[in-house]
Amino acid sequence: MITPILLIGKPHSGKTTYLGQLILRIEANKSALKLYEPIENLTPIIEAMRSLSNGEEVIPTPTEKSTTIKLPLQYDGALINLDCPDYGGEQVNQIITGREVDSRWNESIKLSENWILFIKLNDLNTSFDLSNKTLKPELLEKNNGISTEYSISDQSSFIELFQILLHLKGQDAHFRNSLTKLTIVLTCWDELDNPNTPQEELQKCLPLFLNFIQANWIETNLKILGLSSLGLSLKEPENKIKYQETGSENFGFIVNSEGEKNDDLGQLILEAL
């Protein structure tokens, strides 16, 4: 039996960096996870692995190049397929705005009972707040009274996304979800100032979304973790040298629900099972 895990994340949430670092760790035999067969479509991620090995940030995957990545992982005899249907694409945003999923996503959603959501807290946009904006009458006049500045906040968009996913999964909205396991992963953990536990950080930044998730999932099927795939910022030149000297597979950590760090990035997948 193979357990499929679905990896979901908006663009720039840290997917490529995580996948690259995870594969480099597995290749260096520094993870509890192994591969049970060769990765079929490694080409899109090779560039990222090359950059990371050289101590450089991954180059953003062109958004038009939506492709699928599937990692055939194994742990202690258990087989796990990490499925990333929106590798580098904008599809998550398109699902939210268009309220439609293509057949590839539909299949992944239906097939998987373990979902991982990547959120980069430092990049979130807040909702349009009328109280701190000056609306210029002449601009409103030009746009028929519509303010073009308005866009849905990330917090609302995550709630929309999960309403769509739960609907596709056939979840009865009268009950809390007990079939799908959800692991919310707060990426770029190293960028946070004195972080508390992952749940407390999520509560601070996206309280309504956390509330929505807690109201819709049974507690035992919900986990909130932290992740720093890089371990430190590669924007600093001295960190680039550290990577080149020590090897990128020696950097990065995950943070469990209690706030404790673990060096094995593969542990994230095991926590999501």
Measured distance CA(32)–CA(264) in Å, rounded: 7
Positions 232 through 251 that interact with ligand GDP (CB under 6 A): 233
Q: What mask, x for binding Mg ion by CB under 5 A, covers residues 10 to 39?
A: ------x-----------------------
229 near 218, Cβ under 8 Å?
A: no
Q: What are phi and psi of 122, to 5 degrees?
A: -70, -15
Shortest distance, position 67 Cβ to ligand GDP, whole Å = 12
89 binds ligand GDP (CB under 6 A): no
80 near 2, Cβ under 8 Å?
A: yes
269 interface partner picked from Mg ion, ligand GDP, none, CB below 5 to 8 A per type: none
229 binds ligand GDP (CB under 6 A): yes
131 φψ region: left (φ > 0), alpha (ψ -120 to 50), beta (else): alpha
Closer to ligand GDP by Cβ: residue 217 or 231: 231
Of 61, 114, 155, 199, the residue at the interface with Mg ion (CB under 5 A) is 61
57 binds ligand GDP (CB under 6 A): yes
**Single-letter code of the amino acid located at 39:** I
Torsion sign (Cα): 196, 177, 111, 207: negative
Closest CA to 3 of 116, 152, 95: 116
Of 9, 14, 20, 88, the residue at the interface with Mg ion (CB under 5 A) is 88
Shortest distance, position 92 Cβ to Mg ion, whole Å = 12
**Single-letter code of the amino acid located at 167:** H
124 near 118, Cβ under 8 Å?
A: no
The site that binds Mg ion (CB under 5 A) totals a number of residues, namely 3
Instruction: Give the list of residues 6+ apart from residue 96 with CB closer than 8 angstroms, or none.
Output: 152, 157, 160, 161, 164
Measured distance CA(131)–CA(251) in Å, rounded: 43
Closer to ligand GDP by Cβ: residue 79 or 124: 124
Of 31, 183, 187, 216, the residue at the interface with ligand GDP (CB under 6 A) is 187
13 binds ligand GDP (CB under 6 A): yes
57 interface partner picked from Mg ion, ligand GDP, none, CB below 5 to 8 A per type: ligand GDP
Shortest distance, position 111 Cβ to ligand GDP, whole Å = 22
Chain residues in the site for ligand GDP (CB under 6 A): 9, 11-17, 57-58, 60-61, 187-188, 190-191, 228-230, 233
